[in-house]
Chain A
Amino acid sequence: MTDAAVQASKAAVAPDQMAWDSRTRRFVTIYLPLILFVIVLLFPFYWMAVTSFKPNAELYDYKRYNPFLIGSPTLAHIKHLLFETAYPHWLVVTMTVAVCSTVLSLFSSVLAAYAIQRLRFKGSQYVGLGIYLAYLVPPSILFIPLATTINQFGLFDSPLALILTYPTFLVPFSTWLLIGYFKSIPYELEECALIDGATRLQILRRITLPLAVPGLISAGIFSFTLSWNEFIYALAFIQSSDKKTVSVAILTELVSGDVYQWGALMAGSLLGSLPVAIFYSFFVDYYVSSLTGAVKE
């Protein structure tokens, strides 16, 4: 009986102890590294934000002011950016280019994915493979010949050049993603519609597309963020200051001379990141599913 009592008390103590033990263990092995990861991954953004609201006096004086905090926040850098540079103009150009190229590439990838996955013609597999391979061709090896091509078409220094070239990396990705989505829609639905006398395009518009809306949203936001981030084409094809996109303009127009205006530079980076970050925050789940879906396909 004493044995049983001892065992019982042991049993009462042991889980408690183990719980304590595993809680510290969990903290050290899981939460602590996670917190460190989050700090490291977010610090540049924090630093960007802090810098863009600091007055210049604080910005370059770490002795008197704690650099991690803002003593007297100011909007001077943002005001300078919005009213004394062409920044609003660059934002408009970037937005236009991103929206147009997203729409263009969504339109063409929906049709292509539908043809490859649903119309099932001879050799559709090879077309699909070709489009997949196109995704593996990075812009860095294309920009020089593309610059001459753009010149031949007379599109040099025109935002239209960007709208037409961005789909080269958006279409392969979106098509691949949409093929996966179309695959998950039961073919029987389309057969029913065919029997009821719908044409193929009616089926695409009335049945397949409404069911593939999550896929369309994923492909859309992925394309939007990719075209917002694009740099090398915008750098190579656009020359006049008022047609540049935000990322190119900040680097080529705001970085000048030996003394960098860090406040304005960081404010510009912050403002340039915000639209895409806000847009992303609305559709996080779609974004994650597109990222992982594309990898799994």
Chain B
Amino acid sequence: MTVATATDWTRARPQPGWLARLFDYKPFLVFACLLPACGLLLVFLTYPLGLGIWLSFTDTKIGRAGQFIGLENFEYLLDDPQFWSAVFFSVFYTAVATFGKFALGLWLALLLNNHVPFKSLLRAIILLPWIVPTVLSALAFWWIYDPQFSILSYLAVDVLGIRSTPFDFLSTIWPARWSLVAANIWRGIPFVAISLLAGLQTISPSLYEAALLDGSTAWQRFRYITFPLLLPILAIVMTFSIIFTFTDFQLVYAITRGGPLNSTHLMATLAFQRGISGGELGEGAAIAVAMIPFLVVATLFSYFALARRKWQQGEAND
């Protein structure tokens, strides 16, 4: 009788089912948790990356399995002026656009770091070019660069009277290149400015006060306080910016499609033209693989910047 009451009091603790116990077994849990992410990345990122390198050594075409042909694709590309023009334009585009984005973005970040009214609204508005799908804003730029009805030509010719003929944005080589760079800078400024603003806000105001007491000029405060403390974040943002500018595709594809005279092809658009539109998968893959060395250099840059930041902060591991 007493035993019976005792069992009534202590309700048997529900024994978890085998499934629950399996999911509480740590090695299995780790495996199960990593499975979706790693599975997706392995199947759709690592495997294609390897496959791309393999394809670049074959003469695969769309609808036909290729044969291993060694370095033939690369040898062909080495003699191809169009490839070299794409390499040149990719480097030029990345260098000039990155410089422009960072100069203007840093300036904008410094402006926003002051006390200005409606700061959060401003910040929200400024990010818009970054939010809106690139192709759609590129179309707006295409319309702005229209040979006949360009609004910029209207401003210059009819309103200000600086020029007598409309601008010729996209039909000759160098203006077309500069127009693309300008569109890329326009799109990149917000990201740079907002990230650098976050970096600026972490700098302690007491440093500036101390420098003011020591009689520093504005330039000195920028050169010896702002810039060094901003450098780590600058390096990371720049790495991302360089990688994604170098491999840009959308702007060029939407505005010029590589023309005039194939002078504005980036490596990515050339790879698309040869690989997907032209069906020469092997050759396209070779062009894509040729981008990898540039990306590795940019990544190493990021890695060393990170290492340096850890050393500065004295963190052992993070």
Taking Cβ atoms with an 8 Å cutoff, the residues of A that contact B are: 30-31, 33-34, 37-38, 40-42, 44-45, 47-48, 51, 59-60, 62, 67-68, 104-105, 107-109, 111-112, 114-116, 119, 121, 125, 127, 131, 133-134, 136-149, 164-165, 167-168, 171-172, 175, 199-201, 225, 228-229, 231-232, 235-236, 246-248, 250-251, 262, 265-266, 268-269, 272-273, 276-277, 280-281, 284-285, 287-288, 291-292, 295-296
Contacts and interface: CB of A to CB of B under 8 A. Distances in A.
B141 interface: yes
| Chain B interface, >50% SS class | helix
B295 A109 contact: no
Contact of A47 (B140, B248, B267): B140
Contacts of B160: none
A287 B127 contact: yes
Contact of A236 (B122, B191, B254, B276): B276
| Chain A interface, >50% SS class | helix
Interface in B104-127: 104, 107-108, 111-112, 114, 116, 120, 122-127
Given A138-B295, A292-B195, A250 B136 contact: yes
B151 A47 contact: yes
B196 to A, nearest CB: 9
Contacts of B51: 145, 148-149
21 contacts: A34-B122, A38-B126, A45-B140, A60-B149, A62-B149, A119-B26, A136-B243, A139-B249, A140-B249, A141-B247, A144-B288, A145-B51, A145-B52, A171-B37, A231-B253, A247-B250, A250-B136, A251-B253, A273-B133, A281-B124, A284-B124
Given A114-B33, A272-B136, A62 B143 contact: no
Contact of B285 (A111, A139, A144, A149): A144
Contacts, number: 282
B86 interface: no
Nearest to A107: B36
A138 B272 CA distance: 14
Contacts of A200: 23-24, 26, 29
B34 A115 contact: yes
Interface in B221-257: 233, 236-237, 240, 243-244, 247-250, 253-254
Contacts of B243: 136, 138
A264 to B, nearest CB: 11
Contacts of B237: 295
Residue of A59, A127, A136, A276 ringed by the most chain B CB atoms within 10 A: A136
A288 B276 CA distance: 36
Contacts of B292: 141
Interface residues of B, number: 99
Contacts of A147: 276, 281
Interface string B274-292: 0110000100110011011
Contact of B41 (A33, A172, A246): A172
Contacts of B116: 30-31, 34
Given A37-B108, A111-B34, A142-B48, A247 B136 contact: yes
Interface of B: 16, 20, 23-24, 26-27, 29-30, 32-38, 40-41, 43-49, 51-52, 55, 60, 104, 107-108, 111-112, 114, 116, 120, 122-129, 131-137, 139-141, 143-144, 146, 149, 151, 154, 158, 186, 189-191, 194-195, 197-199, 233, 236-237, 240, 243-244, 247-250, 253-254, 267-268, 271-272, 275-276, 281, 284-285, 288-289, 291-292, 295, 299, 302, 317
A48 B140 contact: yes
B304 to A, nearest CB: 14
B105 to A, nearest CB: 10
A291 B52 CA distance: 30
B85 to A, nearest CB: 18
Nearest to A68: B151
A164 B40 CA distance: 8
